[in-house]
Amino acid sequence: MQLEAHRSLADLTTFGLPSTAEHFVCCESVEVAKEALAWRSRSGCPLHVLGGGSNVLFTGDLPGMVLRLGIDGIQEVHKDAEAVYVRVGAGVPWHDVVQASLDRGWNGLENLSLIPGSTGAGPLQNIGAYGVELEERFDSLEAIDIASGEVHTFSHADCQFGYRESVFKRALKGQFVITHVTFRLPLVPDLRLEYGAIRAELDREGVDVPDARAVSEAVIRIRRSKLPDPAVIGNAGSFFKNPVLDDAAFDSLVKSHPDVPNYPAPNGVKVAAGWLIDRAGWKGHDRGTHGVHDRQALVLVHRGGAKGADLVKLAEDIQSDVFAKFGVALEREVNVLPVG
């Protein structure tokens, strides 16, 4: 284990905001992760787990230990009549997993192309895009119990997935470190073409009979046309979740705004947060060092020189204004640290 003191974290997050870890360790194996957790237990200091840094906003320095997952590897472990089972290290960048699956002829992840972040963070928040959520392709995961150091395996049911949710964000929050994720990828393509602009993009490219790679390439083109590259301007992708309204709340909203984009959801109706923010007049909002992206209202951007608190204040202003104008409460998708 190589423990670093006072390590800057700005280069490890897509926002690029200033923050320093009191203690920092990058864990490239389960054994090193266990050793780091044991050291942290003996010291009694706070623990922060960092993956790809694409879904976090730092508002200051982090006391204690920052443990970054760097566990690598993409391995086929099993195949049955319907699917191939693929075990992936938590530190593998998510888009690398999608591309590897396409290269090896595996189906099912194409709609999730170009989502930033690491594989280990995927189940934590049940990442999703263009009509597919990770839980649909999920089989199981392995995670270290922070208290005991033991490795546990979690099934799909154990994870209690919801919209951008899992048990690791609720009942088991802060209790486990995910080390590996196993996916169940269908042998027969299950193409999802109706969400967003996928079919229109395929038509524009003259693709009459798409395969998984064609869908992935369409998703990549769409995302690049709407979302800023974190290497060019700091951002964490979608800052807010699409709110899910119950029938009464949705009926009230659609009466005054019949054109609001909406989609069926298990517990109600999902409406487009970006549309609400855009209609409230926030798209392209500029506060100099930071603001709202001019092509996608869901994305807050850091141009350089801002502090995490500045981005949090902007998010709160947007939430207040959207609630005042539409009666809809927006929830952050990005995690803010330190808390409080």
Task: Report, as ranges of residue numbers, the positions in the chain whose pLDDT lies below 50.
Answer: none
CATH of domain 4-69: 3.30.43.10
| Domain boundary assignment for the chain | 4-69, 74-186, 234-337
Instruction: Give me the catalytic one of 164, 184, 217, 223.
Output: 164
Determine whether 8 is an active site residue: no
Question: Do residues 89 and 119 touch, judged by C-beta distance below 8 A?
Answer: yes
Determine whether 164 is an active site residue: yes
Instruction: Give me the catalytic one of 135, 142, 201, 333.
Output: 333
Q: What is the pLDDT of residue 267?
A: 86
Q: What is the pLDDT of residue 181?
A: 98
Convert 278-303 to b/e letters by CB count within 10 Å (16 or more is b): bbbebbebebeebbbbeebbbbbbbe
Among 3.40.50.300, 1.10.10.10, 3.30.465.10, 1.10.10.60, name the CATH number for the domain at 74-186: 3.30.465.10
CATH 3.90.78.10 fits 234-337, yes or no: yes
Q: What is the pLDDT of residue 290?
A: 98
Q: What is the pLDDT of residue 340?
A: 52
What is the pTM (predicted TM-score) of this model? 0.89
Start-end of H helices in 228-307: 247-256, 273-279
Over the stretch 51-90, which tens digit does the pLDDT of each residue have? 999 999 999 999 999 999 999 999 999 999 999 999 999 9
Instruction: Give me the catalytic one of 54, 101, 118, 238.
Output: 238
Determine whether 320 is an active site residue: no
Rounded-to-integer distance, Cα 65 and Cα 152, Å: 22
Q: What is the pLDDT of residue 157?
A: 98
